[in-house]
A and B are shown apart, each in its own frame.
Chain A
Amino acid sequence: DGGITQSPKYLFRKEGQNVTLSCEQNLNHDAMYWYRQDPGQGLRLIYYSQIVNDFQKGDIAEGYSVSREKKESFPLTVTSAQKNPTAFYLCASRSTGDTDTQYFGPGTRLTVL
């Protein structure tokens, strides 16, 4: 899982609550990404950030929000507006060198009760 940490590993949320998933990296990477993975599926991009204080929506941004105040940190908030938030959430980072390799954290499994 490289130098990326995600917490918590498991998260339970009641309907109507906002929750924030943490993602921290010590790889000195400029770009960071949040993906959602549903059972048996590939990864879908929620948000990404290529530089501090800037981020863009991915394919499924509705019901989610992010911030990028520090290079090392890219927290994801799952809001009550996200109608089906139960999923596995993966954070990744990428060096802006000459490869497009992404490095992933261990993931957070969010379950809505």
Chain B
Amino acid sequence: SQQGEEDPQALSIQEGENATMNCSYKTSINNLQWYRQNSGRGLVHLILIRSNEREKHSGRLRVTLDTSKKSSSLLITASRAADTASYFCATDAALDSNYQLIWGAGTKLIIKP
């Protein structure tokens, strides 16, 4: 079942600009993760933010989490052509002992040179 929804579905920006993607979810969570998928490839883990955290940074990535609104955002600063990919958020249900991740449909990001 998919509880995450990314917004926008697609985003096209100029190289050097910042890219912001949003994710909303439905149930209480332990943590939220963001993954990147290059076309036709597997997913790569980018960053994990726990439910008791509000903001986290990793290089050019900044993730925020608002548990009251059940939403998260991923900001990529100073975008590069290599950032062109699809980005997915994934959540784990807080009461799920099976540790399944629930995936959104993804945001397709295109960085124009």
**A residues at B contact (CB < 8 Å):** 1, 4, 6, 31, 40-45, 48, 50, 56, 58-59, 88, 90, 92, 94, 99-107, 109
Contacts and interface: CB of A to CB of B under 8 A. Distances in A.
B6 to A, nearest CB: 8
Given A90-B42, A90-B43, A107-B40, A100 B33 contact: yes
Interface string B62-100: 000000000000000000000000001010100000111
Contacts of A106: 41-42
Contacts of A90: 42-43
Contacts of A44: 2, 103
Interface string B12-50: 000000000000000000110100000011111100100
Nearest to A45: B100
Interface residues of B, number: 25
Ranked nearest first, the 3 interchain pairs of A and B with the lowest CB-CB distance are A104-B42, A42-B103, A42-B105
27 contacts: A4-B42, A6-B42, A40-B106, A42-B88, A42-B105, A42-B106, A44-B2, A45-B100, A48-B100, A56-B98, A58-B100, A59-B1, A92-B42, A99-B31, A100-B30, A100-B31, A100-B33, A100-B48, A100-B99, A100-B101, A101-B48, A102-B43, A103-B45, A104-B42, A107-B40, A107-B41, A109-B40
Given A58-B100, A109-B40, A42 B2 contact: yes
A66 B33 CA distance: 27
Given A43-B103, A107-B42, 14 more contacts: A42-B2, A42-B103, A42-B105, A43-B43, A59-B1, A100-B31, A100-B92, A100-B99, A101-B48, A102-B90, A102-B101, A106-B42, A107-B40, A109-B40
Contacts of B31: 99-100
Contacts of B99: 31, 50, 94, 100
